[in-house]
Amino acid sequence: MDLALTPEQEMLKTAVRRFVQQEYPKDTLLQMAATGQSCPSEPWSKLAATGWLGIAIPQEYGGEGGSLTDAGVLFEELGRGPVPGPLVSSALLGGFTVLAGGTEEQKQEWLPTLAKGERSLVLAVTEADYGWDAMDVGLVGTKDGEGFRLNGAKSYVFDGVSATHFLCAARAENNGPVGLFFVPANAAGVTVRSLAGFAWNLSEVKLDNVAVGKADLLGQSFDAGWEAFQGAVARTIPVLAAYQVGGCQAVYDMSVEYSRTRIQFSMPIGRFQHVQSHVINLVNQLDAARWTAYEALWKLDTERPATDAIHMAKSVGSEAYYEACNHAHEVHAGVGSMTEYGLTLHTTASRTLYHYLGDPRYHRRLLADALGL
Amino acid sequence: MDFEPTYTGEQEKFRLEVRAWLAENLPSGIVHPADPIDLTTEQYELRRDLGRRLGEKGWLWPTAPVEYGGGGLSLDYSVIIEEEIDNVGMTLPPYYDSGGKLGGASILVWGSEEQKQFFLKLIFRGEVRTWQLLSEPEAGSDLANVKTTAIRDGDDYVINGQKVFVGSGLGCDYMWTITVTDTEAKRHENLGWFMIKADLPGITIQPMDLLISGGESGAGSGVKNTVFFDNVRVPAFNLIGGENQGWKVATTHLELEHGTGGRISRNWLVDRMFEYCQTTQRRGQPMSKDPEVRDRLVDIYIEAEITRLFNLRNYWMRHSGANITYEGPQASYFRKQSGLRQATAILDILGPAAMTYDPELGAGEGHVEAYMRSALIALHPGGTTDIQKVIMARRIGIGREVKEKAGALA
């Protein structure tokens, strides 16, 4: 038993933290949020140059071939930012999906470019009737000669705006299986619209008679798509949970610091037990998320049965990040609501990540199944 | 990271040895009453007998130093013993021994060599069962406000006072207690700890009538008592850590009591609830197929899992020498609040069947009903949840630059 990170993971953690502080300081993140540019070329090219995007992609496909726990360490630090861009959505989920279901040719084509950050491949799965099961996919790949046509819309696509390509879920005709099509974001008939409001990098992707070929199908078959996606989601979720842990850690650090420096009634507000309670609830959320995430990562890395741990990690991690931000707002009061302070970057992220890849209630139901109830 | 010990061939051999030994030495006829108040003298003696046999092998306190009667084993070996004990439905020690656990750990840090040789051997070999005696009518959360006095008289101290909410049923051999050793000195500079032989003249034990006696100690205690000291003469040798040094000793005691020790045992409540709902029919199907029941069962499962992970983390931190700050009181706080949330979920699932141990209409052979009582009462032993939060706040440094340090552990 050893719950410590390895020396290599500690080094990685330190290096990523320094990188995020330097390249994604608060002002940069606020600027990105204000302009809706979640992936401007300047910090992104530097992030891509580190090679970290390929951390969990095998070396034979141009990645670093690290463990999922390594990826967890990296993404926890990115989550501290929170660094936006096609990270979880593309570098992890896109990559894992291709790895699980792609033909050898597709893997050779896609994985090295994802590892280098040259392209981004974002899953476009959910629709207006929002849900993460195969039955929630209504869009049909209609046969058209040798190829197919895609008509319809994918709603609430996370990181849709920063995608160069989509893996678009579409059903074979006659209520057939759900496959995944590679669709360039700039293909004829594709329009991407950012969703304004409290959402974090969500968009709608409209597909108007978009032409795709059989070669654009992941694994060149409708049958390959959904299973590959499910397998990839299972591996992505605990790393996403680690990203949420990083977010919790950031708002916790902010709140402890603020409790020491903010003076009211002639003393630091952290002297008041009601304020202390908010911070304590916050750290309990943080640690619950941390240990459920890392245990799930460990189970996957050691090839133990992990289904229950994965659903628990997403459920606990999503609730933790959401609640952690709520507690942080209680500590910070008015100051926390000022955009320039930076807390709202996390609050906004926490809401979207709450339901991305399935919300806590959804994963609790899957956990009940996994436990044999 | 590794959330499980990786065992060497040597250690796997050791596991088989422990398993075989338990098969041979576990007394037959051990039963587990739902409410520990129903533990009989015969059942208690069976557990003490097992404790002594474990003690002879150094397996009662596996990681305690060999020179004081412990096993001197590393964390991995200790986990093997605890897992095997857990598998046969027992705990280490197999009976309530709060004073052995917390007094032993405190003596290890603060006792003289002679005191360690004398007291620790008794404890670690399972020869004595020890209660801790802390609370008094005027000293609950404010432990430093104890009024029981121990006044030097020749080679002895003379003890007078009253302790409440202490011990268990069926008596003890020693009492580990905190007293005032200087009635004139300032708060925190006036205290002293004693190991007191329980059969000394002037000690009276009076059971209390309580909803249930919850406790942090896995073995459960069944009964809590008031203990009166009326001119009890205790040899000066039994003063641990020195006169007026008691607060220093208390930091060690309280650190462990506040949950820093950690724990690895399984949660039997979850198994019990799952099994009950899978085998009990309601509206023509197993309860576990009802969507609302499933949701609440998963709530219980997740609460238990987070509690397990906090305990596992603390167990690892303590045994690996990691720098512990707020984690002890956090585990205690979370376990207590979580236990109450689980009780609410059980009430949602079972309704009135959770509230009776009636053999026909109660759920879970009385264990569920007992849990419903103990989840509430378990909130306060070893420091109320509010006190745990106060300690966490100091350790984290909420509102303060200087963080309070955790108590010393051996």
Q: Which architecture characterizes domain B9-95 according to CATH?
A: Orthogonal Bundle (1.10)
Of A2, A269, A292, the CB nearest to B309: A292
Instruction: Give the contacts of B25 (CB within 8 A, at least 6 positions apart).
Output: B50, B53
Give the pLDDT confidence of B238-248 residue by residue, as tens digits: 999 999 999 99
pLDDT score recorded for residue B214 = 63
**Residue B42 CA to its chain's centroid (Å):** 22
Closest-CA residue of B relative to A3 is B1
Backbone angles phi, psi at A248, to 5 degrees: -60, -45
pLDDT value at B215 more than 60:
no
Where do we find the tokens 């020690």? Answer: B93
Proportion of chain B in helix, strand, coil states, percent, rounded to 5: 50, 15, 35
Instruction: Tell me the pLDDT of chain B averaged across its residues.
Output: 93
Of B6, B298, B306, the CB nearest to A364: B298
Contact B214, B146 (CB under 8 A): no
CA nearest to B110, candidates B120, B124, B96: B120
Q: Where along chain B do the CATH 1.20.140.10 domains lie? A: 261-396
Instruction: Give the contacts of A171 (CB within 8 A, at least 6 positions apart).
Output: A137, A138, A139, A140, A141, A177, A178, A179, A222
Cβ distance A283 to B392 less than 8 Å, yes or no, reads yes
Confidence of residue B266 (pLDDT cuts 50, 70, 90): low
pLDDT value at B352 more than 90:
yes
Confidence of residue B231 (pLDDT cuts 50, 70, 90): very high
Per-residue pLDDT of chain A (373 residues; tens, 9 = 90+): 899 999 999 999 999 999 999 999 999 999 999 998 889 888 999 999 999 999 999 999 999 999 999 999 999 999 999 999 999 999 999 999 999 999 999 999 999 999 999 999 999 999 999 999 999 999 999 999 999 999 999 999 999 999 999 999 999 999 999 999 999 999 999 999 999 999 999 999 999 999 999 999 999 999 999 999 999 999 999 999 999 999 999 999 999 999 999 999 999 999 999 999 999 999 999 999 999 999 999 999 999 999 999 999 999 999 999 999 999 999 999 999 999 999 999 999 999 999 999 999 999 999 999 999 9
Give the pLDDT confidence of B122-180 residue by residue, as tens digits: 999 999 999 999 999 999 999 999 999 999 999 999 999 999 999 999 999 999 999 99
Distances (CA, A) of B353 to A50, B34, B219: 60, 15, 25
Grouping H, G, I as helix, E, B as strand and the rest as coil, residue A188 is: coil
Closest-CA residue of A relative to B385 is A277
Q: Where along chain B do the CATH 2.40.110.10 domains lie? A: 130-245
Q: Which amino acid is at A353?
A: L
- DSSP strand E in B154-284: where? 156-166, 174-180, 191-197, 203-207, 225-235, 239-240, 281-282
**Helical H segments across chain A, by residue range:** 7-23, 26-35, 41-49, 68-80, 95-101, 104-116, 222-261, 273-301, 307-332, 334-337, 343-355, 360-370
Contact B353, B362 (CB under 8 A): yes
Cβ distance B278 to A316 less than 8 Å, yes or no, reads no
Residues on chain A touching B2 (C-beta within 8 angstroms):
1-3, 298
Q: Which architecture characterizes domain B130-245 according to CATH?
A: Beta Barrel (2.40)
C-beta atoms surrounding A36 within 10 Å: 12
Backbone angles phi, psi at B359, to 5 degrees: -60, -25
Q: What is the pTM of this model?
A: 0.93
CATH number of A7-119: 1.10.540.10
Under CATH, what is the fold of the domain A226-370?
Answer: Butyryl-CoA Dehydrogenase, subunit A; domain 3 (1.20.140)
**Helical H segments across A302-359, by residue range:** 307-332, 334-337, 343-355
Confidence of residue B216 (pLDDT cuts 50, 70, 90): very low
Give the pLDDT confidence of B181-211 residue by residue, as tens digits: 999 999 999 999 999 999 999 999 999 999 9
For chain A, the structural domain boundaries read 7-119, 123-222, 226-370
Of B2, B278, B399, the CB nearest to A270: B399
Q: Which residue has the higher pLDDT, B268 or B116?
A: B116
Backbone angles phi, psi at A69, to 5 degrees: -65, -40
Residues on chain B touching A298 (C-beta within 8 angstroms):
1-3
Residues on chain B touching A5 (C-beta within 8 angstroms):
1
* A171 bridge partner residues: A140, A178
Minimal C-alpha gap between B108 and chain A (Å): 25
Query: Distance between CA A190 and CA A159 in Å, rounded?
Result: 15
Counted across chains A and B, CB pairs separated by less than 8 A come out at 132
Superfamily of structural domain B261-396 = Butyryl-CoA Dehydrogenase, subunit A, domain 3 (1.20.140.10)
Closest-CA residue of B relative to A8 is B1
Where do we find the tokens 């006792």? Answer: B111
Of B4, B291, B396, the CB nearest to A279: B396
C-beta atoms surrounding A352 within 10 Å: 17
pLDDT value at B260 more than 50:
yes
- A7-119 and A226-370: same fold? no
Superfamily of structural domain A123-222 = Butyryl-CoA Dehydrogenase, subunit A, domain 2 (2.40.110.10)
Instruction: Report the DSSP pairing between strands A202-212 and A263-264.
Output: unpaired
Query: Distance between CA B199 and CA A368 in Å, rounded?
Result: 53
Average pLDDT over residues B97-109: 95
Q: Count of alpha carbons within 13 Å of B246, Cβ hemisphere only?
A: 29
Grouping H, G, I as helix, E, B as strand and the rest as coil, residue B147 is: coil
